[in-house]
């Protein structure tokens, strides 16, 4: 009797052991994959990591013998040159932690993952050079970790991600052949940052139409074909927003519902950006506001709802920028102010209402060659405080602290600034006389400065004809004050 019981226990034990799954396993060859169901006939769950990575070129061509598995904690499929799809994983419904698909040169689709509904950690799809779409992930509704889709240079469609509603952490999408983001139409939130970069065929962000919140920074970097931000119309809050090196963008329409950023706003190196249209609802930027090297940008008018910047306000190398009047409702800056190398800027009007008492990094107003009007109230108040400020390399009237302090003695109501484009100086260059197009009976005071800011001549007269015969050849700045206001023009003596 004891012998029969022992035999039965041994038989049951052998059967039980044969049904067990390995905690973790690495499959190097097609033979190992084909024999998996033989060695583990009842195995449906891998509690550790399954790695599928061929050891010799073109060794693994299919995963058909893995069809019994419905759950894996970590799955790594990498460097399998001849593997074209994942159809052997048709029963896989859940990834407890992460799924990595990397370096599979022949993989053309993700067909075979059709039952997968959730990923507890990260999904990384990287360097699969033949992958053209995300088809096969149609049941996937949530990724608790990060989604990374990087260096899949043939990827032309995100179809297959239509059920995805949330990404718990970051979303990286780089170096693809996508022209839009269609396929992400149900994505509503990303917990971390979004990093979209170097997708050279991308023309729009269509497909992100339901995205309303981004926990981190939304970064758009180096998109040669991107013409519009339409597709972001539902976005109301983000950690920050960077749009850089997108030469075909002319405005920021698409961000019309964005109201606040908890970090930085960077608008940099966009060759044809003419306005910040689209930012009309933005009220606060908790970090830094950087507007840098946008050579076609003429104004900041659509920032007229902005009331606070938590760190530095930095505006530099915007060659066509003539006005800061769009910042007229900005009252608080927590870091510092830098305005530099804006070649067409003539006035700091627009900064009048700022409270600079909280500035901790000082102020820099430098190398703006036509900037003559700096005596706006906020700057005058700051100069009175004695806090650090660097003023240099601007036009006469704003070429150093002393000039600005002197100008602050005259209120802007007493000497208003005239729109510079409304007054003509001709001929220019000239040899003997330059003329202002003002009435002959108009009484004016004028000053002529050389390009170093030194006063060369001053006087008062009736009419707009100014004799320059005594000047040596070169460039000068002409400053004229009349009853209608102040005009500054650059003139050339031949």
pLDDT of residue 108: 95
Q: Which band of pLDDT confidence, cut at 50, 70 and 90, is reported for residue 426?
A: confident
Digit-coded pLDDT (tens) for 140-193: 999 999 999 999 999 999 999 999 999 999 999 999 999 999 999 999 999 999
Tell which wins on pLDDT, 151 or 410.
Answer: 151
Closest C-alpha to 211, from 231, 182, 196, 226: 231
pLDDT of residue 461: 81
Is residue 416 over pLDDT 70? no
Is residue 13 over pLDDT 70? no
- Where in the sequence is the domain holding 476, given as residue range(s)? 420-493
pLDDT of residue 7: 42
Rounded distance between C-alpha atoms, residue 178 and residue 161, angstroms: 14
Residue 403 domain-assigned (yes or no): no
Residue 389 domain-assigned (yes or no): no
Rounded distance between C-alpha atoms, residue 335 and residue 122, angstroms: 37
Residue 242 domain-assigned (yes or no): no
pLDDT of residue 386: 81
Digit-coded pLDDT (tens) for 442-466: 788 888 887 666 788 888 888 778 8
Digit-coded pLDDT (tens) for 259-293: 999 999 999 999 999 999 999 999 999 999 999 99
pLDDT of residue 3: 46
**pTM, to two decimals:** 0.82
Is residue 31 over pLDDT 50? yes
CA atoms within 13 A on the CB side of 62: 9
Residue 187 domain-assigned (yes or no): no
| 427 preceded by a cis bond (ω within 30 of 0) | yes
User: Looking at 111, 145, 177, which one is the last position of a domain?
Assistant: 177
As a three-state string, the secondary structure of the chain is: CHHHHHHHHHHHHHHHHHHCCCCCEEECCHHHHHCHHHHCCCCCEEEEEEEECCCCCCCCCCCHHHCCCCEEEEEEEECCCCCCCCHHHCCCCEECCCEEEECCCCCCCCCCCCCCCEECCCEEEECCCCCCCCCCCCCCCEECCCEEEECCCCCCCCCCCCCCCEECCCEEEECCCCCCCCCCCCCCEECCCEEEECCCCCCCCCCCCCCCEEEEEEEEECCCCCCCCCCCCCCCEEEEEEEECCCCCCCCCCCCCCCEECCCEEEECCCCCCCCCCCCCCCEECCCEEEECCCCCCCCHHHCCCCEECCCEEEECCCCCCCCHHHCCCCEECCCEEEECCCCCCECCCCCCCEHHHCCCCEEEECCCCCCECCCHHHHHHHHHCCCEEEECCCCCCCCHHHHHHHHCCCCCCCCECCHHHCCEECCCECCEEEECCCCCCEEEEEEEECCCCEEEEEEEECCEEECCCCCCEEEEEEEEECCEEEEEEEEEC
Residue 342 domain-assigned (yes or no): no
pLDDT of residue 182: 96
CB atoms under 10 Å from CB of 280, counted, come to 19
User: Looking at 128, 155, 177, which one is the last position of a domain?
Assistant: 177
Is residue 418 over pLDDT 80? no
Residue 87 domain-assigned (yes or no): yes
Helices 401-408 and 377-385 cross at an angle (nearest 10°) of 120
Is residue 422 over pLDDT 60? no
The rounded percent of the chain whose pLDDT value lies above 70 is: 91
Opening angle at CA 172, ends 168 and 174, nearest 5: 165
Q: Count up the domains in the chain and report the number.
A: 2
Digit-coded pLDDT (tens) for 97-130: 999 999 999 999 999 999 999 999 999 999 999 9
pLDDT of residue 484: 65
User: Looking at 133, 156, 177, which one is the last position of a domain?
Assistant: 177
Domain of residue 163, CATH code: 3.80.20
Closest C-alpha to 90, from 73, 58, 107, 65: 65
pLDDT of residue 455: 83
Residue 369 domain-assigned (yes or no): no
Q: In what order do the strands lie in the sheet with 474-482?
A: 455-462, 443-450, 474-482, 485-493
Digit-coded pLDDT (tens) for 341-357: 999 998 999 999 988 77
Residue 313 domain-assigned (yes or no): no
Rounded distance between C-alpha atoms, residue 332 and residue 282, angstroms: 14
Digit-coded pLDDT (tens) for 362-386: 899 999 999 988 989 899 989 988 8
Domain of residue 489, CATH code: 2.60.40.3080
Is residue 361 over pLDDT 50? yes
């Amino acid at each position: 009797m004891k012998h029969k019981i022992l035999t039965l226990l041994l038989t049951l034990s052998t059967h039980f052991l044969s049904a067990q799954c390995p905690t973790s396993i690495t499959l190097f060859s097609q033979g190992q994959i084909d024999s998996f169901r033989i060695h583990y006939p009842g195995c449906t769950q891998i509690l550790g990591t399954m790695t599928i990575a061929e050891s010799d070129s073109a060794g693994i061509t299919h995963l058909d013998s893995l069809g019994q598995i419905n759950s894996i904690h970590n799955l790594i499929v990498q460097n399998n040159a001849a593997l074209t799809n994942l159809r052997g994983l048709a029963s896989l419904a859940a990834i407890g932690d992460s799924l990595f698909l990397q370096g599979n040169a022949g993989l053309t689709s993700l067909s075979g993952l059709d039952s997968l509904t959730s990923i507890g950690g990260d999904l990384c799809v990287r360097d699969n050079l033949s992958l053209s779409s995300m088809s096969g992930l149609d049941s996937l509704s949530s990724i608790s970790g990060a989604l990374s889709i990087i260096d899949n240079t043939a990827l032309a469609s995100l179809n297959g991600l239509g059920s995805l509603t949330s990404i718990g952490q970051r979303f990286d999408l780089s170096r693809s052949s996508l022209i839009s983001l269609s396929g992400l139409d149900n994505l509503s939130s990303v917990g971390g940052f979004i990093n979209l970069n170097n997708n050279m065929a991308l023309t729009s962000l269509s497909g992100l139409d339901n995205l309303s919140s981004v926990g981190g920074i939304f970064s758009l970097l180096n998109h040669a074909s991107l013409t519009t931000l339409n597709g972001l119309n539902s976005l109301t809050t983000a950690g920050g927003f960077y749009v850089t090196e997108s030469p075909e963008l002319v405005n920021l329409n698409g961000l019309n519902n964005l109201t606040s950023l908890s970090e930085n706003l960077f608008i940099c190196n966009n060759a044809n950006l003419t306005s910040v249209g689209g930012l009309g609802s933005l009220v606060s930027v908790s970090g830094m506001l950087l507007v840098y090297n946008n050579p076609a940008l003429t104004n900041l008018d659509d920032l007229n709802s902005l009331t606070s910047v938590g760190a530095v306000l930095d505006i530099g190398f915007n060659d066509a920028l003539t006005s800061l009047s769009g910042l007229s409702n900005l009252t608080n800056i927590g870091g510092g102010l830098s305005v530099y190398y804006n070649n067409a800027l003539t006035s700091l009007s627009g900064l009048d209402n700022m409270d600079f008492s909280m500035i901790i990094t000082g102020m820099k107003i430098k190398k703006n060659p036509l900037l003559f009007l700096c005596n706006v109230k906020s700057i005058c108040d700051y100069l009175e405080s004695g806090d650090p400020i660097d003023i240099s390399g601007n036009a006469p009237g704003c070429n150093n602290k002393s000039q600005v302090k002197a100008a602050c003695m005259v209120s802007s109501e007493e000497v208003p600034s005239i729109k510079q484009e409304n007054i003509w100086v001709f001929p220019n260059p000239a040899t003997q006389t330059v003329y202002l197009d003002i009435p002959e009976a108009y009484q004016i005071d004028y000053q002529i400065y050389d390009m170093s800011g030194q006063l060369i001549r001053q006087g008062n007269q009736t009419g707009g004809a100014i004799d320059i015969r005594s000047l040596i050849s070169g460039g000068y700045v002409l400053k004229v004050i009349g009853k209608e206001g102040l005009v500054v023009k650059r003139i050339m003596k031949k």
